[in-house]
Amino acid sequence: MSDEQKQDESPTSGAAEGMDWYIIKVAFNREDSIRDSMLKRIKLAGLEDCFGEILVPTEDVVTFTRNGTRRVVKRKLYPGYLMAYMTINDDSWFLVRETPGVGDFTGSGGKPTPMDPQDVEKIVPKPVEDEDEGEPALKTAIPYRAGDRVRVKEGNFENLEGEVEKVDEANGRVTVIISIFGRSTPVELNHWQIEQV
């Protein structure tokens, strides 16, 4: 197989030659500002041809305020990390490493390791091609975990206490084990129907 054929089989079709996705360790809770700083440094250094997208991986989740108002917020999937689509060479590597707040690339032996294409597909948002598909299902941010003690605030089991068995963020529901007539009974409730004890 010739070198030209090998280059044509790159996992990111239509991409600039030699570009791959890399994970960069950054200061926790400063991902957005470090990303912005890195983009400015790339432009000033004239290295736009070495970089594609730089992402702070996020997902949309539904939260509810104290008065029950529904809000959609972005939640970071991997706090303390950025994803960069780039070519690794001396200039690009140095620019990233010298950006304030950047720790290092993930990899082994001091060498950046590109992400597996399957992992990239799971994390990087795909461009929206067909608007007829509707919105993707949003997760609900539920502040409870399995084992938490909770009290039912409303509904048929009001004022009873129990232990969280399972949390279903996709549907905004929580399964609570409540003792009814001396028997442990799993009860599925909406997350706003319970409160922490």
Domain positions in the chain: 17-133, 143-196
The CATH number fitting domain 17-133, selected from 3.40.190.10, 3.30.1540.20, 3.30.70.940, 3.90.550.10: 3.30.70.940
Equal fold, 17-133 vs 143-196:
no
pTM to 2 decimals? Answer: 0.59
96 CA to centre of own chain: 21
Give the fold, CATH level 3, of 143-196: SH3 type barrels. (2.30.30)
Please report, in tens digits, the pLDDT of each residue of the chain (197 residues total): 444 443 433 333 334 567 899 999 999 889 999 999 999 999 999 999 999 999 998 888 777 666 667 778 888 888 899 999 999 998 998 999 899 999 888 887 778 889 888 888 877 766 544 444 555 566 767 788 889 999 988 888 888 899 999 988 777 788 999 988 888 889 988 877 888 88
Which own/partner contact pairs does 158-161 have at CB distance under 8 Å and 24+ positions apart? 161/197
Of 19, 43, 38, the residue nearest 27 (C-alpha): 38
Which own/partner contact pairs does 122-130 have at CB distance under 8 Å and 24+ positions apart? 123/57, 123/77, 123/83, 124/21, 124/53, 124/55, 124/57, 124/83
